[in-house]
């Protein structure tokens, strides 16, 4: 899995200290009994070898000895930024460190009063993360002026400057995303790689949390003091996520991560470091048992970190640092041949891969959008989620940043979406989380709302028992009057609900024939047309599996005449209004609110019969002077919006039987307040009220 490790800027050519082990007890012994010379050397050695958790402990002791030392403040700032991942804390130490810097910095001498010029780079990095982009650029340039040409950080500083310039542009054009921390599932440990099921009902994710029996505590990674990666599953029901359940393939000693699953959820892809290099494995679930295999495309001495399927299961995208790419980790593609084997992978082109790292590919349901993360020149800082759209010739177009507040100057990575693409989940270590990487929920994604159509079939058993694992359905789907538009596929439905699914295209007339596997005659044939002007639509059918005849049959009460087949005709409506500090209501004449009401009325007039309007609101963590708490401010925003809606509905008595209004989410969210209220753009994305229909 991705380890967000950094290269130490304290360059040591020879380790002079005699200790060879790096356990917490041994380092604590050195802290208690070592003199200042020993402590300086030990801190330098641990930093060089990337044992930053332990180096941080030694830095604390050095500051007890000499709290005004620029040298020691630099060391503590470095571990605070790269181990504790706390740029606010690190900034405080780096500001003390830059008072005196030197190009001849001696990392081993207790008599060294200075910090290296690198302190300017790391302070700029803190400011970059904290959103002070102009000041960060100034300090990155200051670092470049002071540093030797051979410094390995100059190229990184140039990249940071580009990313800060990107951030200034992106922040000025912020999108209408709704971004919320998934507080109920996140912990103080790293929680990441969220993979949402197509229907949004199941979330698989990875965590480095401590097991209930603490069995994994003995296998902490000593450099960062973190437990190995493990996979968990949570289910969404009654508007809440269930307590996470650990995956059956978890081991206390090794890292495992759930990466992808097929549409029928019977084939999965997981990451494991069981080979010693970090590899990707295919898993097949049969009779509730999981068997794992690897393919030759993943058997290498390189690091494969992530992989994902296309919706039809015939195309694979994965990340590797193997030779032959453009640089760093690159995204490769492989297709399944007629014998079921994966072809030799090829690296995606320069519209996707760069000389930096690309990570975590995820393909939209219709296969037309590729999401991935990159820490290169299109980022606004750290990893950002980018996307490409597929060209007509099946190549990928230029990548684009998902924008702000979707992305941040921190690491934003591992994005996955539901079938319609409107909502998704991803990981970020941005400020305001519970700790390390957290999982975030994002709604109102305009990027993926292209023309998507879906055929959904649901198979239930005649007796109501669970569907047998060997049930499958074969269908032949043809585009009427189209050339080369035939699908001949056998599907095994999802066992948890009997659903099988197939992507369609808008504005096309289809003929479909469904067969029981092994039978020559279809049990159903029909023709239907998909709408031309809808962003997302479904064609739904229900079937019965007869437990006596062992055949799938049409459910008589659900069959719809061909001439009345209708995809989903009404798209849901959404609006969101952002507030300045302490503001809590909008006027009835507000342009966006009036537009929402106009769309609502148009849909009701067109025959929409059942609408739920959900109200959601948020307050930032900037202390409020007008309310008893930020929570109360968020509640006032929701209540004022509800009052405004009810005033409108009072003028429309006929809507009473159609519309239900309810408040679904009231939250206090965003970065912790740093006495920087002047940075309104930093907190405004978390000061809002919104409406959406269901």
pLDDT band per the 50, 70, 90 thresholds, residue 19: very low
What mean pLDDT do residues 434-442 have?
A: 90
pLDDT at 562 over 50: no
What mean pLDDT do residues 141-169 have?
A: 94
What proportion of the chain, given as a percentage, has pLDDT over 70? 91
pLDDT at 140 over 80: yes
CA proximity to 403, closest of 377, 423, 378, 367: 378
Kindly give the residue spans of alpha helices, DSSP state H, lying in 488-624.
Answer: 591-605
CA trace torsion 615, 619, 620, 621 (10° rounding)? -140
Domain 452-564: what homologous superfamily? Carboxypeptidase-like, regulatory domain (2.60.40.1120)
pLDDT at 33 over 80: yes
CA distance 575 to 660: 17
pLDDT at 689 over 70: yes
Q: Can you name the CATH fold of 24-172?
A: 1.25.40
- Average pLDDT over all residues of the chain: 86
CA distance 433 to 455: 38
pLDDT at 450 over 80: no
CA distance 542 to 519: 20
What mean pLDDT do residues 557-582 have?
A: 63
CA distance 162 to 141: 12
The pLDDT value given to residue 119: 97
pLDDT at 565 over 50: no
* Tens of pLDDT, residues 482-517: 766 777 888 888 888 888 888 888 888 888 888 998
pLDDT band per the 50, 70, 90 thresholds, residue 392: confident
Asked whether the beta carbons of 332 and 359 are under 8 A apart, the reply is: no
pLDDT band per the 50, 70, 90 thresholds, residue 533: low
Q: Which CATH number is associated with domain 574-693?
A: 3.30.1330.60
Placement of tokens 């269901």 in the chain? 694
* Tens of pLDDT, residues 278-318: 678 888 877 667 777 777 667 666 777 889 988 878 899 99
Q: Which residues of 192-208 are buried (b: 16+ CB within 10 A; e: fewer)?
A: bbbbbbbbbebbbbbbb
Q: Which CATH number is associated with domain 178-443?
A: 2.120.10.30
* Tens of pLDDT, residues 629-653: 999 999 999 999 999 998 898 888 8
* Tens of pLDDT, residues 247-264: 988 999 999 999 998 888
Kindly state the DSSP code that residue 675 receives in the 8-state scheme.
Answer: S
pLDDT at 16 over 70: no
Residues 6+ apart with CB under 8 A from 479: 485, 486, 505, 508, 509, 510
Q: Count H helices, E strands: the chain?
A: 11, 35
* Tens of pLDDT, residues 653-672: 888 888 989 988 888 888 88
Domain boundaries, the chain: 24-172, 178-443, 452-564, 574-693
298 or 141: whose pLDDT is higher? 141
Cis-peptide, bond into residue 405, ω within 30° of zero: yes
- Provide the token pair at 146: 């002071």
Residues 6+ apart with CB under 8 A from 18: none
CA distance 503 to 681: 40
CA proximity to 471, closest of 458, 482, 485: 458
pLDDT band per the 50, 70, 90 thresholds, residue 564: very low
The pLDDT value given to residue 102: 94
167 or 17: whose pLDDT is higher? 167
CA proximity to 332, closest of 346, 322, 353: 346
The pLDDT value given to residue 566: 43
What mean pLDDT do residues 388-396 have?
A: 90
CA proximity to 456, closest of 568, 364, 535: 568
CA distance 532 to 523: 29
What mean pLDDT do residues 423-440 have?
A: 91
pLDDT at 452 over 80: no
* Tens of pLDDT, residues 57-113: 999 999 999 999 999 999 999 999 999 999 999 999 999 999 999 999 999 898 999
What mean pLDDT do residues 535-539 have?
A: 76
What mean pLDDT do residues 570-577 have?
A: 82
CA distance 381 to 140: 14
CA distances from 357 to 2, 306, 330, 388 (A): 11, 13, 6, 16
The pLDDT value given to residue 568: 42
Asked whether the beta carbons of 50 and 218 are under 8 A apart, the reply is: no
């Amino acid at each position: 899995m991705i380890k967000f490790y950094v290269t130490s800027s304290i360059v040591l050519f020879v380790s002079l200290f005699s200790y060879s082990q790096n356990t917490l007890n041994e380092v604590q012994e050195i802290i208690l009994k070592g003199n200042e010379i020993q402590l300086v050397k030990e801190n330098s050695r641990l930093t060089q070898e990337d044992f930053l958790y332990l180096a941080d402990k030694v830095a604390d002791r050095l500051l007890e000895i000499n709290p005004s030392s620029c040298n020691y403040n630099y060391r503590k700032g470095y571990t605070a930024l790269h181990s504790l991942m706390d740029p606010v804390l690190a900034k405080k130490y780096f500001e003390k460190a830059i008072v005196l810097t030197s190009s001849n910095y001696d990392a081993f001498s207790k008599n060294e009063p200075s910090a290296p010029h690198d302190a300017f780079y790391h302070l700029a990095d803190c400011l970059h993360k904290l959103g002070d982009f102009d000041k960060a650029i100034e300090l990155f340039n200051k670092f470049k002026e002071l540093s030797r040409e051979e410094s390995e950080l100059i190229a990184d500083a140039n990249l940071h400057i580009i990313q800060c310039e990107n951030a200034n542009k992106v922040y000025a054009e912020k999108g209408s995303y709704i971004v919320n921390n998934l507080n109920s599932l996140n912990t103080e440990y790293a929680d990441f790689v969220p993979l949402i099921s197509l229907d949004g009902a199941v979330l698989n994710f990875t965590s480095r949390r401590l097991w209930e029996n603490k069995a994994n505590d003995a296998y902490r990674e000593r450099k960062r003091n973190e437990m190995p990666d493990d996979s968990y599953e949570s289910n969404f029901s009654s508007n809440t996520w269930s307590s996470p359940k650990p995956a059956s393939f978890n081991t206390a000693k090794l890292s495992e991560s759930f990466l992808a699953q097929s549409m029928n959820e019977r084939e999965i892809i997981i990451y494991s470091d069981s080979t010693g290099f970090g590899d990707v494995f295919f898993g097949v679930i049969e009779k509730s048992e999981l068997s794992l295999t690897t393919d030759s495309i993943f058997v290498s001495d390189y690091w494969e970190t992530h992989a994902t399927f296309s919706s039809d299961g015939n195309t694979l995208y994965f990340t590797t640092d193997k030779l032959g790419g453009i640089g760093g980790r690159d995204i490769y593609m492989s297709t399944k041949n007629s014998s079921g084997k994966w072809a030799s992978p090829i690296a995606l082109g320069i519209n996707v891969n760069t000389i930096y790292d690309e990570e975590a590919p995820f393909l939209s349901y219709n296969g037309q959008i590729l999401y991935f993360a990159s820490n290169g020149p299109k980022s606004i800082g750290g990893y950002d989620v980018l996307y490409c759209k597929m060209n007509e010739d099946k190549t990928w177009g230029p990548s684009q940043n998902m924008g702000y507040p979707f992305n941040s100057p921190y690491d934003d990575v591992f994005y996955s979406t539901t079938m319609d693409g409107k909502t998704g989940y991803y990981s970020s270590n941005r400020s305001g989380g519970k700790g390390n990487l957290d999982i975030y929920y994002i709604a109102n994604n305009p990027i993926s709302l292209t023309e998507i159509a879906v055929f959904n079939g649901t198979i239930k058993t005649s007796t109501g028992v669970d569907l047998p694992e060997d049930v499958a359905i074969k269908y032949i789907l043809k585009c009427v009057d189209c050339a080369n538009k035939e699908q001949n596929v056998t599907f095994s439905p999802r066992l948890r609900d009997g659903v099988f699914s197939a992507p369609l295209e808008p504005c096309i007339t289809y003929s479909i024939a469904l067969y029981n596997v092994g039978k020559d005659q279809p049990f159903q044939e029909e023709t239907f047309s998909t709408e031309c002007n809808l962003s997302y639509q479904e064609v739904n059918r229900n079937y019965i599996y007869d437990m006596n005849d062992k055949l799938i049959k049409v459910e008589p009460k659900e069959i719809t005449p061909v001439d009345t087949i209708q995809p989903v005709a009404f798209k849901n409506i959404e609006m969101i209004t952002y507030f300045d500090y302490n503001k809590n209501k909008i006027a009835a004449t507000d342009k966006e609110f009036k537009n929402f009401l106009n769309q609502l009325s148009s849909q009701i007039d067109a025959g929409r019969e059942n609408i739920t309007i959900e109200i959601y609101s948020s307050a930032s963590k900037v202390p409020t002077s007008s309310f008893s708490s930020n929570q109360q401010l968020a509640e006032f925003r929701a209540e004022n919006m509800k009052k405004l809606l009810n005033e409108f509905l009072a003028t429309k008595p006929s809507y009473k039987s159609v519309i239900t209004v309810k408040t679904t989410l009231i939250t206090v969210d965003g970065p912790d307040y740093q006495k920087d209220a002047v940075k309104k753009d930093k907190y405004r994305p978390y000061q809002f009220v919104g409406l959406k229909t269901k």
